[in-house]
Structure 1
Amino acid sequence: MLSTQWTGRLWLLFLLFACGENTQDPGSCQPHPSCHECIQSHPSCAWCKQLNFVPAGESDTGRCAPRVELERGGCLPSEIMDPRSKQHVLEDRPLGNSGQQQSFTQLAPQRIALQLRPGEEQSFTVRFRWVEGHPVDLYYLMDLSYSMKDDLENIKRLGSDLLSALRNVTTSVKIGFGSFVDKTVLPYVSTAPSKWQHPCLQANETCQSAFSYQHVLALTDNASEFESRVSQQRISGNLDTAEGGFDAIMQAAICKDHIGWRDVTKLLVFTSDGTFHMAGDGKLGGVYLPNDGRCHLDDNGLYMKSHLYDYPSVGHLAEVLSESNIQAIFAVTGPRVIIYEELSRLIPKSVVAELKEDSSNVVQLIADAYSSLSSTVNLEHSSDLPPGISLAYDSHCGDSETHGGAKGGECLGVHVNQQVQFTVRIKATTCLSGPQKLVLRVLGVGEELHVDLTTVCECQCGDTQSYAPHCSGGLGNLTCGVCRCQEGHAGRHCECKQELDPEATCRDVNDTGPVCSGKGRCVCGKCQCNAQASGPLCKCDNAGCERHNGQLCAGNGQCRCGNCECHLNFTGKACQCSLDTSGCMQEGIVCSGHGHCVCNRCQCDTGWFDSHCSRCANCPTPCEEHRDCAECKAFGTGLLSGNCSTSCNQMVNVVPGSTTDERWCQMAAEDGSLLIYLIERDERGRITLMVNGKYGTTTKQTFTLVLYLVLGFVLLGLFLIIIYRIIVEIYDRREFKRFEKERKCAKWNEVNNPLFRSAITTVMNPKYNSD
């Protein structure tokens, strides 16, 4: 039994040494001295808690290795600590209508618990289905600046139409109403008493004073009440084209109790024909405090602190809408659509629709926008991830799939009662400080998936024993197969008493460096080396051997003190060379007879190539090889005509006529004619040449003829060019002589040239007296 255990230990050490290169790779299992450090280091690591598993003189770091190596080393499977990630579904109601009033389940499961081991990825599936008749809350937020006068008249009559349109897709719907203008300070609105009381342009119009935001009607399913409250609204006015809509959206999203938001699908319809103020614009009116994101509505629903807090930023607004799970529909007039489309890209789950100048299409617009929002399913986590946690989403949308989304999953074109799935892959890179919560949800849907996260970072070995007999009769506590010695004792079994200088024998004389050469630890005056070292003082480097293809000793040997000890049938400094020759054999011949076998690969002779040296780069073809013999034996001509009988002993048959058989060789003879012949071999390898004859001119003759023709054309061209230049020269000389003759015969009056104009003007003064 003892010999079997020692064999197992030696086999484990051999594996550790042979795979020593992996210990340098952070992506693989490395030895560690304790169980919890071992399982935290890499998901492939396991720990053997079996007593006496590690041989005497070796370090307990050998207990940390991949499971398969521990089993090969003799560790019983029941003694191996290898905790894995686990998941447990805590709540999983079926999708659909539960039968109870307004009780719908569209997201499943609803609660799961995950136990993650650092470095190991875990995945779970999330299902979603739009259930027909799911409740909807719609809050109508309207711009009441003067330019929206005609829109207000139409809105006063649309309560019943809005409810009817939404009840086509759901049985439970509530609508509410709010309005906004702008901050009640200069330069946004006029604070002059006359303009404050009557901000409209026409003196006979009934207007209300400017305000920032007013919540008018909480969510209700009473269409008559909606129309009654909205009909009491009056138009107002401000000074600039930009409005304070961001203040209104922020208060409508934050003041949940005032608005009456339910935990259902929430829609906020924002209608305006103007642009918007955002963070920083308030400084122009002396408003410099950043928006605090809190509810500041009084008993009448008025936002009373707009003059104190700046407009919210786009990012702040997007964050609040996302956290409140509110989907925004920006219904704006044509000239403003482009601006709000840019805004919509920054606000999750929002759409933009074009509103007619008088808002006459608002009901159909809201119905279409809601349909567009409902057809897109976005699954994402609702808050920042705990430190060390990463997520990836794979979307399964029926006919299409997308993989690896880090921010969330998305399915487009989803219709009512269609089920889609998302695979969420989660991974912990470090140990969590304690239980953590993670919330997943589909944007625009009130339901959530709660994930309880914990990490497996401690070993539950179940063998903890104080003052264990295994530790030298009670001199230490036993945990996971390792003794933790009491003070004053040391050693793997606490068998040593600590002396004044217990490390003196663990280093060379006069050596002040680290004990055991820094590659092990000193226990009871002896070095316990790490897996990468060996020797009395751990000076032997068992991980410093040569590598081949990234592997220590090419994976074919064992590293000992910097030198590779190769396995049987391997050689070389890095054991990279195999002594086997099977890879060089083809049809029983090594390298086809044209090379020699090195490291089970053929090294070909000059002129030969491919994996078995079976192809020749510069060798003549059979037709080329026997051409001269065919010509001299049949016709007595060619390069071998004087030595034909000794050089060529092949039999030659002259066959009259031509042939088109692809086996016949067609080569150029020495005299330029076309030589046609056939090569045949009998069973003994003897060659017989059958010559068909010589015909016409060969390519060589044709080439010579073409060369002469080209040269003749070139010479003829040069001759014609020379004749042309001679004729032109003669003509030019005749013309020049005629010109000279006419010039000499011409009689010009060179003194009084009628075309001449002097550059000097002479003026005679009649009054000038020379005296």
Structure 2
Amino acid sequence: MRWTQKLWLLFLLIAMACGQKTTGSCQPRPSCHECIRSHPSCAWCKQLDFVPADESDAARCATRLELERRGCLPGEVIDPRGKQHILEDRPLSENPQHESITQLAPQRIALQLRPGEEQNFTVRFRRAKGYPVDLYYLMDLSHSMKDDLENIKRLGSDLLAALQNITTSVKIGFGSFVDKTVLPYVSTSPAKWLHPCPSANEPCQSPFSYRHVLALTDNASEFENRVSQQFVSGNLDMAEGGFDAIMQVAACKEQIGWRDVTRLLVFTSDGTFHTAGDGKLGGVYLPNDGHCHLDENGLYTESHLYDYPSVGHLAEVLSKSNIQTIFAVTGPRLLMYEDLSKLIPKSAVGELKKDSSNVVQLITDAYNSLSSTVNLEHSSDLPPGISIAYDSHCGNLETFGHTQGGECSGVHVNQLVQFTVRINATICLPDSQDLMLRVLGVVEELRVQLLTMCECQCRDVQPYAPHCSGGQGNLTCGVCSCREGYRGRLCECKQEDQGHPEASCRDGNSTGPVCSGKGQCVCGKCQCNAHASGPLCKCDDTSCERHNGELCAGNGQCRCGVCECQSNYTGSGCECSLDTSGCLREGAVCSGHGRCVCNRCQCETGWLGSHCSHCAECRTPCEQHRDCAECKAFGTGPLRGNCSVFCNQTTRVVSASAVDEKWCKTTVEDGSLLFYLVEEDKTDGITLTMNIQEGTTDQTLKVVLGLVLGLLIAGLFFMGLYRCVVDFWDRREVKRFEEECKRARGNEVNNPLFQRATTTVVNPQYIKD
């Protein structure tokens, strides 16, 4: 078999395995609750007397279609489906005012999930015009930022004016940072502590970790006044304590004055950053706790106790606080902060000039970029057993199946985007769970209340029900729960009256298993498990012949190991259709030259084809046997898959290496040439002697592979030859160098300046044993 045929065979087997129908996904269960929890396709029939006397109540659990086919009334089928209720859905704002802006809808929704069944709902978002903004300016005040500070002192009005072009309500605040106030980050010598700057004449302040200078305000004059009172400081290393400062800005909401609006944090620096673990250099080993530690003067006084936060911790706190970060850094640090931005949700990076003269434009551009990207995400911790996926509908662009969140980029003001949220539960939740969805950078949230449907609401509970042998048990979902001392599916027998009931559940005097090992003996009668039936559960309803992976080919029912076929099917496995439409062509069955068997034509001698329409005797021997030769050789051609049916006159197929003018020739699908010699014999039938020559495609491939292999061998040969020549040349040069060194070496004995490289010292106290 050629490699192409092997490959196709492998693909066929994989396709058959993947495409095979999954049967029995809904298995019988002893109770309604277990039934509906087991699989979303399972349903329960609570109809009284639905189950025959020799079967257990587990047979009540099956698919709705199967239960109704077996006679369960539609109103008696318990098949709960998931539901959803919109609890709050305020309309999106058209012309929003500050007091009543709604960008995200709906706001509250309740979902009832059946395990294994997916529920989906639509989330709408419209980017509002003029949404309020809080901007906090966090600045590196190490000495290298001296020129930047001078420009920042004058930009309060410009910054407010630029943001007021975007929104009607804006507030700005200011804070600064240097580094932890312990060695080796800053100098703790008294002189350097008081004046850490290199020049003794310039204004300079003592080092600090983080200082909150100005809470959020809409007063530009106050911003400029407070910033003008700031001076640079100094530290020892290139990295700064910016992460400490960012954590305090996010944690100290009241001190900063954050409102429930768009929150922007502008971080400016020309240095790198310390991260978790760096604090150990200064003896600071406690992990950062993520809490606010500002004193009455706005100073972070606990920096010598808590380590720097990690990037992951910082990203989590910023995301929970709905703070969007803009990293405004100088060119040499740009790539580093771009990598950092990839790890922090809803952040942007811009290149800051050396004197920060472009900071206003940088902030404006970064804000527009962040606002035009809409990211819908869920809270970090999903309830156990809950999975979620997002489909994003962004106008002309749609994405499907993202599990981390939905995203739409380039969203304009007043543009509506939608997300389809698909939620699935794999287990039963103990109680109601809340899931929060929000758009990053927007304070509004969507609260999703999750509740799983794992209990049957049969509404037929009857204590001491007459159906249960006149009140000997309670009736729930069509099943009797017997009182103490009673047994049986209908509580029909007392335990003390049973004697030795198992004898009647065995075959004669046999000591074999009770109920053939396929059921339980209850009150002297067998209650068979699923797929078993009969007085002693001997009949196995899963042992029938299978076709295409299905019992009785899916065209009948298995009864005690025998297929009971539907009216239009026959055969031991119901595999043979009585329909003749597949044999008809132009109103004739098999063209009048054959008979229809299982809806397929069996042709008379001398006729070929799926409908026996080809006259084998009306053609030359080469033409008559061409299709059979191709089918026998490659399994291809018009008779593909039917060689045994249509080529039964061909008894032997042999191969030969030489051909002549007597041989027939044909070209098959892949371009290969097939030569075959037809020989008829009254005893042996027809013999096809074949010779196969690969087609041009395979030949070209072999030529190309041969050339590549030849070039590779030649390359290796020349590389080896080159290496041998170089090695020979190097050895000759080394030998010549050594000889010249010997000739140049003087007489060491007669050289008065000669000293040996080592000195030998003798211990006078040493005595050998």
Q: TM-score range by the shorter chain?
A: 0.7 to 0.9
User: What is the aligned-residue RMSD (CA, Å)?
Assistant: 2.5
Q: Output the CA distance in 2 between the equivalents of 1:407 and 1:535.
A: 54
- Mind listing any 5+ residue stretches in structure 1 that lack a counterpart? 1-23, 626-771
3-state SS in 2 of match to 1:315: helix
Q: Output the CA distance in 2 between the equivalents of 1:42 and 1:589.
A: 49
Q: Output the CA distance in 1 between the equivalents of 2:617 and 2:256.
A: 91
Task: Select which of 109, 113, 121 maps to 2:110.
Answer: 113
3-state SS in 2 of match to 1:452: strand
CA contact (8 A) 2:54 2:533 kept: no
Aligned residue-pair number: 602
3-state SS in 2 of match to 1:96: coil
3-state SS in 1 of match to 2:49: coil
Give CA-to-partner distance per residue, 1:69-125, whole Å, 9 cap, x none: 333333333322222111111111111168764321110110111111111111111
Give CA-to-partner distance per residue, 1:522-570, whole Å, 9 cap, x none: 2212111133111222232211222211211101222233333333443
Over 3 Å counting, the alpha-carbon distance change for 1:621 and 1:510 in structure 2 is closer
3-state SS in 1 of match to 2:187: coil
CA contact (8 A) 2:109 2:448 kept: yes
Q: Does 1:426 align with 2:426?
A: no
Task: Give the C-alpha shift of residue 226 in structure 1.
Answer: 1.2
Over 3 Å counting, the alpha-carbon distance change for 1:116 and 1:26 in structure 2 is farther
Within 5 A, what are the aligned runs for 1:266-665?
266-498=263-495, 499=498, 501-507=500-506, 515-592=514-591, 597-603=596-602, 610-615=609-614, 620=619
Q: Output the CA distance in 2 between the equivalents of 1:607 and 1:288.
A: 94
Further displaced range: 292-301 or 55-64: 55-64
Match of 2:194 in 1: 197
Q: Output the CA distance in 1 between the equivalents of 2:377 and 2:230.
A: 40
3-state SS in 1 of match to 2:515: helix
Q: Output the CA distance in 2 between the equivalents of 1:91 and 1:416.
A: 24
Q: Output the CA distance in 1 between the equivalents of 2:232 and 2:302.
A: 22
Give CA-to-partner distance per residue, 1:227-246, whole Å, 9 cap, x none: 11111111001111111111
Match of 2:177 in 1: 180
Give CA-to-partner distance per residue, 1:36-73, whole Å, 9 cap, x none: 11221222222222222223332222322222333333
3-state SS in 2 of match to 1:104: coil
Q: Does 1:243 align with 2:224?
A: no
Task: Select which of 162, 168, 171 maps to 1:171.
Answer: 168
Q: Output the CA distance in 2 between the equivalents of 1:50 and 1:332.
A: 73
Question: Rg: which structure is higher?
Answer: 1
Q: Output the CA distance in 2 between the equivalents of 1:409 and 1:568.
A: 53
* Structure 1 letter corresponding to 2:580: T
Over 3 Å counting, the alpha-carbon distance change for 1:347 and 1:360 in structure 2 is same
Match of 2:729 in 1: none
Task: Select which of 81, 89, 94 maps to 1:92.
Answer: 89
Over 3 Å counting, the alpha-carbon distance change for 1:267 and 1:38 in structure 2 is same
Q: Output the CA distance in 2 between the equivalents of 1:560 and 1:55.
A: 15
Within 5 A, what are the aligned runs for 1:694-709?
none
Task: Give the C-alpha shift of residue 503 in structure 1.
Answer: 4.0
Give CA-to-partner distance per residue, 1:631-669, whole Å, 9 cap, x none: xxxxxxxxxxxxxxxxxxxxxxxxxxxxxxxxxxxxxxx
Give CA-to-partner distance per residue, 1:582-636, whole Å, 9 cap, x none: 31222344433565544222356799765324357896489x99xxxxxxxxxxx
CA contact (8 A) 1:389 1:426 kept: yes
Match of 2:54 in 1: 57
Q: Output the CA distance in 2 between the equivalents of 1:26 and 1:442.
A: 42
3-state SS in 1 of match to 2:71: coil
Q: Output the CA distance in 2 between the equivalents of 1:293 and 1:620.
A: 90
Over 3 Å counting, the alpha-carbon distance change for 1:512 and 1:186 in structure 2 is farther
Match of 1:768 in 2: none
Task: Select which of 2, 21, 31 maps to 1:34.
Answer: 31
Further displaced range: 360-369 or 114-123: 114-123
Q: Output the CA distance in 2 between the equivalents of 1:46 and 1:599.
A: 36
Give CA-to-partner distance per residue, 1:668-721, whole Å, 9 cap, x none: xxxxxxxxxxxxxxxxxxxxxxxxxxxxxxxxxxxxxxxxxxxxxxxxxxxxxx
Over 3 Å counting, the alpha-carbon distance change for 1:617 and 1:238 in structure 2 is farther
Q: Output the CA distance in 2 between the equivalents of 1:528 and 1:69.
A: 20
Over 3 Å counting, the alpha-carbon distance change for 1:135 and 1:101 in structure 2 is closer
* Structure 2 letter corresponding to 1:183: K
3-state SS in 2 of match to 1:217: strand
CA contact (8 A) 1:102 1:134 kept: no
Q: Output the CA distance in 2 between the equivalents of 1:31 and 1:260.
A: 61
Over 3 Å counting, the alpha-carbon distance change for 1:521 and 1:344 in structure 2 is same
* Structure 1 letter corresponding to 2:100: S
3-state SS in 2 of match to 1:356: coil
Task: Give the C-alpha shift of residue 572 in structure 1.
Answer: 3.6
Task: Give the C-alpha shift of residue 362 in structure 1.
Answer: 0.5
- Mind listing any 5+ residue stretches in structure 2 that lack a counterpart? 1-20, 625-769
So what's the TM-score if we normalise by structure 2? 0.74
Task: Give the C-alpha shift of residue 577 in structure 1.
Answer: 2.1
3-state SS in 1 of match to 2:343: coil
Match of 1:140 in 2: 137
CA contact (8 A) 1:540 1:562 kept: yes
Over 3 Å counting, the alpha-carbon distance change for 1:605 and 1:270 in structure 2 is farther
